[in-house]
């Protein structure tokens, strides 16, 4: 999406929301990596404010993560930034179990955490626990979740900009009045926002939507292959398919290839990760464009946002992370094979100036 996750992003994946869940774990180890290198922290020069001036600060990260390395990188960025700040970070992951995420949130509330970060999730399930945390005086920062509590700090990918960025490329590639397919799922905040942009753009271009399919599971890419394959059997004349979460896009790519339509049908996705880059640059890949944020940088920025809120220095109720378009042609022309190379080639992904201060050692790429 993430992706979703939504990572969706995401879907952001409720978001790139609940884009569903990778591993179930609790850990305070902020040092692990996942296929891309964590950037070294830029040294802090300012004096730490309270509560950071008093030693370790206890923070809980309650996740509803999804399939794919987007969520791994997001988590690694968060952990690396927490470690640099001296945060004692406990991570919970609900593994596609909404009831468990509510239980995890309850555990986090009772753990003595001074702040709780909630990464993805279904609002109806977790809103009561979010309200309890706020009432108890705990700072709550959510990522890609719609919440009704005005005391909660909201962080998210700019899903409208993400969808628009890739749909602008799709418009250039397909032109007006093209026959198109659509792979998406309703009920996730990030995907619903991307859907709104899709409807406006499709209408403005006169595109004829021949089919809409899609579902989110704990094996989203695999489980969407038969759905998209069946749709392509009936509508093999579509010129392009929009799948606004990278796991949906992966499934769409496999379906297009299985139907041997990769020379006729172009795939337009959303989110970006190491696996997505490898997929887009593979020989004969029909995935020609995506749009996304750097998941590692986003995870780190969410932790910095939380730190500023704890220090009383945030002075805003929401923070958005803008997305950029990434095309297959760009990746191939620059010889880009992974996120580290993409960060170097595309500085717009760098969030080092988002949610920072002179006392914060910044690990954003």
Residues, the chain, total?
A: 365
pLDDT score at 20: 36
Decide if 349 contacts 343 (C-beta within 8 A). yes
Q: How confident is the model at residue 359 (pLDDT cuts 50, 70, 90)?
A: very high
Q: Rg (Cα) of the chain, in Å, rounded?
A: 20
What's the pLDDT tens digit per position in 76-117? 999 999 999 999 999 999 977 899 999 999 999 999 999 999
Whether the per-residue pLDDT at 221 is higher than 50: the answer is yes
Which CATH number, 3.30.1360.120, 3.40.50.2300, 3.30.1300.10, 1.10.1740.10, labels domain 49-156+294-322?
3.40.50.2300
The token duo for 53 is 């001036």
Taking the alpha carbons of 31, 35, 36, 37 in that order, is the dihedral positive or negative? positive
CATH topology of domain 159-292: Rossmann fold (3.40.50)
Joined together, the tokens standing for residue 68 give 């794919």
- In whole angstroms, give the CA distance from residue 101 to residue 170: 37
Residue 363's pLDDT is 86
Of the listed ranges 22-36, 146-160, 184-198, 266-280, the one predicted with least confidence: 22-36
Residue written as token pair 């914060």: 360
In this prediction, residue 85 carries a pLDDT of: 96
Question: Cβ(180)–Cβ(209) under 8 Å?
Answer: yes
Phi, psi (deg, nearest 5) at residue 282: -65, 150
Instruction: Quick: pLDDT tens for 12-46.
Output: 333 333 333 332 233 333 333 334 454 556 788 99
Burial of 149-167, coded b for 16+ CB within 10 Å and e otherwise, reads eeebbbbbbebbbbbbbbb
CA trace torsion 183, 185, 189, 190 (10° rounding) = -20
- Mean pLDDT computed over 275-304: 95
Report phi then psi at 207, rounded to 5: -70, 145
Give pLDDT, residue 135: 98
pLDDT at 7: 40
| Tokens standing for residue 227 | 């759905």
Q: Measured between alpha carbons, how far is 78 from 328 in angstroms, rounded to an integer?
A: 28
- Sequence ranges of the domains in the chain: 49-156+294-322, 159-292
| Cross-strand bridge partners of residue 119 | 63, 143
CB 166 within 8 A of CB 159: no
Average pLDDT over residues 201-210: 98
Instruction: Give the confidence band of 67 by pLDDT, cuts at 50, 70, 90.
Output: low
| Tens of pLDDT, residues 314-323 | 999 999 998 9
The reply to whether 159-292 shares the fold of 49-156+294-322 is yes
pLDDT tens by residue, 250-277: 999 999 999 999 999 999 999 998 999 9
Region 214-225 average pLDDT: 94
Q: Among 255, 331, 333, which residue's Cα sits nearest to residue 291?
A: 331
Could you tell me if 247 and 3 are in contact, meaning their C-beta atoms sit under 8 angstroms apart?
yes
The CA distance from 206 to 202, in Å, is 6
Angle in degrees, 0-180, between the axes of helices 69-85 and 274-281, rounded to the nearest 10: 140
């Amino acid at each position: 999406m993430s992706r979703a996750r939504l990572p969706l992003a995401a879907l952001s994946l409720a978001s790139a929301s609940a884009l569903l869940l990778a591993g179930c774990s609790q850990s305070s180890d902020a040092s692990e990596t996942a296929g891309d290198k964590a950037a070294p922290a830029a040294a802090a020069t300012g004096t730490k404010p309270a509560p950071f001036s008093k030693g370790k600060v206890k923070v809980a990260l309650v996740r509803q993560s999804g399939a794919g390395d987007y969520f791994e990188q997001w988590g690694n960025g968060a952990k690396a930034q927490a470690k640099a700040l001296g945060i004692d970070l406990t991570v919970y992951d609900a593994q596609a179990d909404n009831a468990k995420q509510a239980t995890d949130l309850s555990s986090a509330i009772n753990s003595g955490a001074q702040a709780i970060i909630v990464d993805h999730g279904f609002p109806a399930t977790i809103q009561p626990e979010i309200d309890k945390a706020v009432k108890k005086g705990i700072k709550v920062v959510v990522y890609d979740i719609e919440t009704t509590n005005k005391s909660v700090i909201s962080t998210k990918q700019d899903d409208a900009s993400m969808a628009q960025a890739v749909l602008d490329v799709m418009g250039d590639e397909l032109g007006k009045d093209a026959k198109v397919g659509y792979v998406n799922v309703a009920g996730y905040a990030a995907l619903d926002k991307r859907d709104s942009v899709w409807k406006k753009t499709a209408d403005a271009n006169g595109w004829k939507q021949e089919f809409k399919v899609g579902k989110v599971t704990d094996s989203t890419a695999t489980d969407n292959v038969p759905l998209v394959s069946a749709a392509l059997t009936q509508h093999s004349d579509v010129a392009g398919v929009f799948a606004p979460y990278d796991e949906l896009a992966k499934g769409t790519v496999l379906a297009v290839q299985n139907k041997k339509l990769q020379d006729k049908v172009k795939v337009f996705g959303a989110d970006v990760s190491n696996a997505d880059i490898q997929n887009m640059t593979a020989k004969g890949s029909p995935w020609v464009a995506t749009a996304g944020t750097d998941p590692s940088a986003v995870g780190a920025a969410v932790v910095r946002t939380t730190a500023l809120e704890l220090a009383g220095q945030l002075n805003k109720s929401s923070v958005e992370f803008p997305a950029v378009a990434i095309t297959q042609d760009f990746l191939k022309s620059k010889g880009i094979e992974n996120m580290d190379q993409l960060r170097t080639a595309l500085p717009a992904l760098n969030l080092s100036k988002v949610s920072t201060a002179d006392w914060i050692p910044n690990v954003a790429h």
